[in-house]
Amino acid sequence: MLLPGLVPTKISAQTDSSLVRTIDSTVVAAQRRSSPLSAGAETKVDIAGIAKLPSILGGADPLRFIRLLPSVQTGNEIDAGIHIQGCDHGHNLISIDGTPIYGASHLLGIFSVFNPTHFGTMHYGTDAGIRGRLGGYVDMLPDRSIPRNTTAGDFSLGLIAAQGNLKLRTGENSALSISGRKSFLNQLYRPFLMVDEDPFNYGFGDINLGWVLQASSRDRIYADAFYSADAGAYASLENHLKLDMGWSNASAAMHWEHRGASTMLKQSIFATQYTARTDISREPESGYVPFHTRNLGYKAAFAWQDLTLNAEALYYDVLPPSPIHESGSMTTSAPEEVQNALETHISAGWSKYLSLAWKLDAELAGGWYLSPEKESYWQLDPTVKLSYNMFHAGMLELRAGSATQNIFLTGVSSMGFPIEFNLMAGKYSDPQRSIWAALAYNLKFAHEAWAFDTELYWRRLYNQLEYTGTLLDYLRAGTSLENMLTAADGWNYGINLILHKQSGKLTGWLSGSLGRSLRRGEDGSIWPSNFERIYEVNAVATWTERKWDAGGTFTAASGTPYTAPDSFYLLDSKLICLYGPRNAARLAPYIRLDLNFNWYFRKDERLTHGVNFSLYNALARNNELSYHFNYRDDGTFAYVPFSISLRLMPGIGWFCKF
């Protein structure tokens, strides 16, 4: 059974077509895997390999890659969330080697906060297990190898950002890694960076530090530090609305890993935080909204033969949105209290082959949660997996379990703006819960050059919180956050399929998904979630030659739902809107084709450098992103589609690795 944050040993082949080893006159041959994706119960992604796939203006990104998998709903240009098998973005754990990261995407989800030059592997799964989440997980694992030379590096320069990594050998058994990234959107794209024909100024930067020490043959100590910052400003002349936003992410962690002959022990301590402030102005009202989420934590994982033990303790410091209202010379505040909570988990897992074909994995997790109101919640979540190995006919897996989550994520949207926020269970709702089951089938054939995976899933959700207000509700004095929240439960169910070519010059996959993500309110009404896509098809292909490689991705998906108005009118210069059934209308289908081409001036073990050409939205399709009211200077208004100028965006970049 895999433990969170543990990195399996990588075995790589250097030949172009096959891996061959001779042992006592026995020849073992296998196809060389050239795809960055290794699918299964837990998906592993080689970060360096995603550079062959289409990027936006020269920058490949791990979280955008995840959205090409059938179990993740495609996000549009204003959705920075990761929606795994119908779950909300806040149901998933996004982490750096187990350290939670809140607000993991820069604006609009074009880039995540994870600089790909700093990381070696990404682990992804649809079931977060003991990680305290209802959905899946994405765990970014830094490259902790010690370079053979004194220095090693990886740098790239594109039209939207520059990024790079420098690795320094600080001793025979230690290394220091420094990575950074800085955008220059405003310098090159100011005339084109428009939100519904209004200008938008935006920039971001991030930095990663990593240190590793191989203290002995059995002990390894390593540390990570991370910081990112975003700033944006938007002004709508027609709507007389101004926004100034700033938000940042930071984390630090220390890990110790000890491996014995048949045991493994890993311990981690960490701190992480996400802080944000949004200044809002719409005459005659103005104000600002600060909020933050902070964690202190400890994790331990122990493995011995078929047994695994895990323990975790998390301390939360959460400030919900606390609007400060300004009207003329008057300043009023409606601050929310800081929420301090404690969460602990302990689990035991057992893995056993019942026969040559049958294997059983069972895990029991127990938890204690102390809410901000000092109320205790005792939690128990079992998980079981039964596997049947049919050898050449494939593998069947039946998984089932339950999960509990004590932190909520809600807000106006998942655009990557600082208008989403966290809440702790207690005052607003009991902890979230889910019961789930999945049936998966995996088949590898043609000497493992091809793989086919399919999964049926079902998930029942309880105690969901949704924010029903708008961005302007932050400006209305006397508005209570509690009055802007509504309780719901729900269901997610569907099927995912993927046919994957894993080796050869041509690699890629064709995937499809069909499913529903439904929510039910306290009044019994049922509606689709805001991010539901009933069907989706993804095609990914890369072709690799010695001096060049090319890639393309194609996505076609049903439109996401929205709530359309039945009627609206003006009364005393105020807009009165009567909405129809919640999320009963849908946007037009989402279709996008992206292309990528890399030319290498030199490509060997000592130095790789070249140029990248990319084309985002090559079909120049104007995909609908949402609908909103548009106010005109003549006093009229209309309910119109919302769009962002991201059509047919070419990119060029330079990259170098040594």
DSSP string, 214-240: --SSSEEEEEEEEEEEEEEEEEETTTT
Of the pLDDT bands very low, low, confident and very high (cuts 50, 70, 90), residue 277 is confident
Number of H-type helices and E-type strands within the chain? 2, 42
pLDDT digits (tens, 9 = 90+) for 121-157: 999 999 877 678 999 999 999 998 888 888 888 888 8
Q: What is the mean pLDDT of residues 475-502?
A: 83
Cα-based distances in Å from 564 to 258, 340, 631: 57, 39, 17
Q: Of 510, 541, 646, which is closest to residue 590 (Cα–Cα)? A: 646
- What tokens appear for 271 in the block? 């701190």
**Least confident segment among 67-81, 200-214, 406-420, 459-473:** 406-420
Single-letter residue type at 564: A
Single-letter residue type at 259: R
Q: What is the mean pLDDT of residues 263-271?
A: 97
Of the pLDDT bands very low, low, confident and very high (cuts 50, 70, 90), residue 410 is confident
Q: What is the pTM of this model?
A: 0.86
Q: What is the mean pLDDT of residues 398-420?
A: 81
Spatial distance between the Cα atoms of 157 and 59, rounded to a whole number of angstroms: 9
pLDDT digits (tens, 9 = 90+) for 233-266: 877 766 677 878 888 999 999 999 999 989 999 9
Domain assignments of the chain as residue spans, ordered by start: 32-657
Of the pLDDT bands very low, low, confident and very high (cuts 50, 70, 90), residue 416 is low
pLDDT digits (tens, 9 = 90+) for 432-455: 999 999 999 999 999 889 999 999
The pLDDT of residue 456: 97
Element (H, E) at 66: helix 62-66
Return the SS3 of 658: coil
Q: Is pLDDT at 325 greater than 80 in this prediction?
A: no
Of the pLDDT bands very low, low, confident and very high (cuts 50, 70, 90), residue 87 is very high
Pairing type for strands 137-142 and 93-96 reads: parallel
Residue 571 buriedness (CB in 10 A; 0-12 / 13-18 / 19+): exposed
CATH 3.40.1350.10 fits 32-657, yes or no: no
- What tokens appear for 162 in the block? 């520059």
Question: 2 or 529: which carries more pLDDT confidence?
Answer: 529
The pLDDT of residue 34: 65
Spatial distance between the Cα atoms of 95 and 226, rounded to a whole number of angstroms: 11
Torsion angle (degrees, nearest 10) of CA 13, 16, 17, 22: -50
Pairing type for strands 395-405 and 432-445 reads: antiparallel
Single-letter residue type at 81: G
